Amino acid sequence: MVGWVDEWWLRLLAGLVGSGLIAGAAYRTRSLSGSGAWSALIMGTGFVTLGEPVWFGCLIAFFVSSTIWSKWKKRHRAKAAAEANYEKTGRRDAGQVWANGGIGLLLCAGNALWPDTAWLFAYIGVMAAVNADTWATEIGALSRTAPRSITTGKRVKPGTSGAVTPLGTLAALAGAAFIGGIAAALLALPQQADAAAGAPQAARRR
């Protein structure tokens, strides 16, 4: 099993504390429902226990950024009109939490049991897709142009499932790129730390 701390119980404890604080804060700000908060606690603890920083870092980046976009201009008239047609509100429940992070947690567990970089690349792709969809939904609702059905090309009401706008499409690209950037930055951190640790040793050899 891989991890950023050798002792699994320390990772478990850190996961419980960190995930509990985030889930609690999200519940108080009405970003998560009760079931969503409990699910976030379980999921976050699993990621921290089984994975390295890049795994739970991408998850946190997704959740924080999507929450910010959901709260931003919450009272905007266009966004309110679009959200009236959504099946679910901005307060995420257990189903939404697991839909967004469940596959990622399975990939994280797979990597913990059978370490391979393919698990991580698949995970980054999954989270990029999830984030792209969320950003497209949240930002696309502010589009001044009417959305078009992706299947028929006809104009439909804002908030209609399967409808797209140019703004929403750009938001999706930005959301995917955001996760890719976060993953690249987190993967570079250990290399920078190793390089910094090796510099004094190299200097002493001279």
The pLDDT, as a whole number, for residue 45 is 97
Cα distance between residue 124 and residue 16, in whole Å = 23
Asked whether residue 197 is assigned to any structural domain, the reply reads no
Which of 139-148, 150-159, 170-179 is modeled with the greatest confidence?
Answer: 170-179
Determine contact, residues 30/91, Cβ cutoff 8 Å.
Answer: yes
Asked whether residue 3 is assigned to any structural domain, the reply reads no
The pLDDT, as a whole number, for residue 49 is 95
Cα distance between residue 148 and residue 29, in whole Å = 33
Asked whether residue 204 is assigned to any structural domain, the reply reads no
Asked whether residue 57 is assigned to any structural domain, the reply reads yes
Asked whether residue 144 is assigned to any structural domain, the reply reads yes
Asked whether residue 179 is assigned to any structural domain, the reply reads yes
Question: Tell me: the pLDDT tens digits for 9-63?
Answer: 899 999 999 999 999 999 999 899 999 999 999 999 999 999 999 999 999 999 9
Question: Tell me: the pLDDT tens digits for 90-129?
Answer: 678 999 999 999 999 999 999 999 999 999 999 999 999 9
Region 139-161 average pLDDT? 83
Q: Which domain holds residue 132?
A: 8-190
Contacts of 74 (CB under 8 A, 6+ apart): 90
C-beta atoms surrounding 121 within 10 Å: 12
Region 64-93 average pLDDT? 70
What domain count does the chain have?
1
The pLDDT, as a whole number, for residue 71 is 79
Structure-model confidence comparison of residues 85 and 65, the more confident one: 65
Reply yes or no on whether the pLDDT at 4 is more than 90: no
Asked whether residue 200 is assigned to any structural domain, the reply reads no
Region 151-165 average pLDDT? 83
Percentage of the residues of the chain whose pLDDT score is greater than 90: 60
pTM of the model: 0.84
Region 60-77 average pLDDT? 82
Asked whether residue 159 is assigned to any structural domain, the reply reads yes
Cα distance between residue 159 and residue 175, in whole Å = 19
